Amino acid sequence: MAKTAMITTRVEPVVKKNAEKVFKKSGISTTEAISIFFIAGEITQGIAF
């Protein structure tokens, strides 16, 4: 398995709760969703939305 880096961030509790519901419906974890966002940013060389 590849090495990983830890990211610590603060978000509003309601935003976190609602986002986690969306991710769960999509079948992915919050960690996976953040990784997808980072990878998309790397691919597009910008904000990925």
Please say if the pLDDT value at position 2 is more than 80: no
* Tokens describing residue 29: 């974890």
Please say if the pLDDT value at position 46 is more than 80: yes
What is the model's pTM? 0.82
Task: Spell out the alpha helix ranges (H) of 1-49.
Answer: 13-26, 30-44
In 3D, which of 35, 37, 26, 24 has the Cα closest to residue 2?
A: 35
* Tokens describing residue 16: 């976190």
The mean pLDDT of 37-44, rounded to a whole number, is: 95
